[in-house]
């Protein structure tokens, strides 16, 4: 599958639920966030059918995400179904790791290759202030369980927030010296839940040298960072890199397998690597090879653009494989070249836990 700009589309990110057992301050309000009714979520049969059709069209990599994918019951059953297509060579999962102590081995046995684990702090108190559920100890146990289960390489996704956990960048970097973990610092995206009917958008330039960001105005006080707070908390990756290099010396650029969109570096003699991901920077768009399937069955060609195509209705009203395959091609054909945030594009009808991050 090639899009109109010559990009080979080989990666499908599948959200299996919009629910989560955590409430990270930048992702979800603490209480009362809207979720899809259960009967609107795709069943495993429906997901597997779509993934297999995508695989016939050239998709070889699938990432399961959410919400928190591990809270979807019987996830290993889905992994096995996805794996039945021989062109699917890599199945990974983005998780907060809280349930990995219980499920890592079963998931690996079902055919999961690797995990990306979200972890923003190594301090137990701060952990609870950010995730507002769960606990650090069980997440660290989850990381160990993933290693024992052979879910390599282990990537740790860390969203840095100014004044909250940016002082820990050096500690995360130190971790890569002693262990083969691949820490990736993810730039905070000021994306809000669309809880308020009266969305207000603006773009701002200061932090990103002219590239715009989005702000959605939401009812205050439902326990999530508001747009203004998030904007203040963005830590540009150049600042993080500088801080790490001041402590440990210059990092060398490097590649790791399944590198993805990160700019990756390595400290001298380190076992692991350090990556930086800014999904806001349009420079990643040129390499974007992915489509996203939301938990409620909408196919999106771009995280940052609201266009999506309903696959659930045709799935449930007797569409043939050929018809569904044509819908995939239609979405690929309309994958935008890049996002247009800097030009004032107004986006984000969905929050991150509905999009699949």
State the residues that interact with ligand SF4 by CB under 6 A: 20, 22-24, 27-28, 66-68, 96, 118, 352-353
Tell whether residue 18 is a contact of ligand SAM (CB under 6 A).
no
Angle at 324 between CA 322 and CA 329, to 5 degrees: 90
Task: Tell which one of 188, 274, 299, 302 touches ligand SAM (CB under 6 A).
Answer: 188
CB of 86 to ligand SAM, least distance (A): 27
Task: Tell which one of 18, 68, 296, 308 touches ligand SAM (CB under 6 A).
Answer: 68
Tell whether residue 281 is a contact of ligand SAM (CB under 6 A).
no
Task: Tell which one of 186, 274, 280, 331 touches ligand SAM (CB under 6 A).
Answer: 186
CB-CB contact of 301 with 331 (8 Å): yes
Of 2-10, 73-81, 187-195, 263-271, the window that binds ligand SAM (rule: CB under 6 A) is 187-195
Q: With respect to ligand SF4, which residue has the nearer C-beta, 99 or 112?
A: 99
Tell whether residue 224 is a contact of ligand SAM (CB under 6 A).
no
Q: Which does 110 bind (CB under 5 to 8 A by kind): ligand SAM, ligand SF4, none?
A: none
Give Cα separations from 31 to 41, 193, 233, 237 (angstroms): 21, 12, 22, 31
Task: Give the residue from 328, 306, 276 showing the smallest Cα distance to 56.
Answer: 328
Tell whether residue 121 is a contact of ligand SAM (CB under 6 A).
no
CB-CB contact of 15 with 26 (8 Å): no
CB-CB contact of 203 with 190 (8 Å): no
Q: Which does 189 bind (CB under 5 to 8 A by kind): ligand SAM, ligand SF4, none?
A: ligand SAM
CB of 19 to ligand SF4, least distance (A): 9
Tell whether residue 94 is a contact of ligand SAM (CB under 6 A).
yes
CB of 257 to ligand SAM, least distance (A): 20
Partnered with residue 185 across adjacent β-strands are 158, 276
Task: Give the residue from 46, 13, 57 showing the smallest Cα distance to 292.
Answer: 13
Q: With respect to ligand SAM, which residue has the nearer C-beta, 85 or 96?
A: 96
Report strand pairing: 154-160 vs 263-266.
Answer: unpaired
Q: Which does 354 bind (CB under 5 to 8 A by kind): ligand SAM, ligand SF4, none?
A: none
How many binding residues for ligand SAM (CB under 6 A)? 19
Number of H helices, E strands in the chain: 11, 12
CB of 102 to ligand SAM, least distance (A): 16
DSSP string computed for 289-317: -EEEE-TTSEEES-TTS---EE-HHHHHT
SS3 category, 238: helix
Count of other CB atoms within 10 angstroms of residue 258: 14
Task: Return the CA Rg of the chain.
Answer: 19
CB-CB contact of 85 with 61 (8 Å): no
Angle at 235 between CA 231 and CA 237, to 5 degrees: 135
CB of 113 to ligand SF4, least distance (A): 20
Q: Which does 88 bind (CB under 5 to 8 A by kind): ligand SF4, ligand SAM, none?
A: none
Q: Which residues bind ligand SAM (CB under 6 A)?
A: 20, 26-27, 65-66, 68, 94-96, 118, 157, 159, 186, 188-189, 191, 352-353, 357
């Amino acid at each position: 599958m090639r899009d109109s700009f010559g990009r080979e589309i080989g990666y499908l990110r599948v959200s299996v639920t919009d629910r989560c057992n955590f409430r990270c301050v930048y992702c979800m309000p603490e209480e009362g966030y809207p979720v899809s009714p259960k009967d609107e979520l795709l069943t495993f049969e429906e997901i597997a059918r779509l993934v297999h059709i995508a695989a016939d069209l050239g998709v070889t990599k699938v990432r399961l995400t959410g919400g928190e994918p591990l809270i979807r019951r019987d996830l290993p059953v889905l992994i096995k179904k996805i794996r039945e297509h021989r062109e699917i060579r890599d199945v990974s999962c983005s998780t907060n790791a809280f349930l990995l102590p219980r499920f890592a081995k079963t998931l690996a046995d079902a055919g999961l290759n690797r995990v990306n684990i979200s972890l923003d702090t190594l301090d137990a108190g701060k952990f609870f202030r950010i995730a507002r559920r769960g606990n650090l100890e069980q997440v660290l146990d989850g990381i160990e369980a993933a290693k024992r289960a052979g879910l390599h390489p282990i990537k740790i996704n860390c969203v840095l927030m100014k004044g909250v956990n940016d002082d820990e960048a050096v500690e995360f970097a130190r971790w890569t010296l002693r262990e083969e973990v691949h820490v990736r610092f993810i730039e905070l995206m000021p994306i809000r839940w669309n809880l308020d009917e009266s969305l207000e958008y603006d773009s701002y330039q200061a932090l990103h040298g002219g590239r715009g960001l989005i702000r959605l105005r939401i009812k205050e006080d439902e326990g999530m960072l508001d747009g203004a707070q998030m904007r203040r908390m963005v830590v540009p990756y150049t600042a993080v890199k500088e801080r790490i290099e001041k402590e440990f010396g210059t990092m060398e650029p490097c590649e790791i397998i399944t590198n993805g969109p990160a700019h990756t570096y390595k400290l001298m003699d380190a076992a692991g690597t350090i990556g930086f991901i800014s999904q806001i920077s349009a420079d990643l768009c040129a390499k974007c090879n992915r489509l996203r399937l939301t938990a409620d069955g909408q196919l999106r060609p771009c995280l940052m653009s609201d266009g999506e195509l309903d696959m659930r209705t045709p799935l449930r009203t007797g569409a043939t494989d050929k018809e569904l395959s044509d819908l995939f091609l239609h979405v690929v054909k309309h994958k935008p070249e890049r996002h247009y945030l800097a030009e004032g594009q107004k986006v984000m009808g969905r929050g991150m836990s509905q999009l699949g991050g």
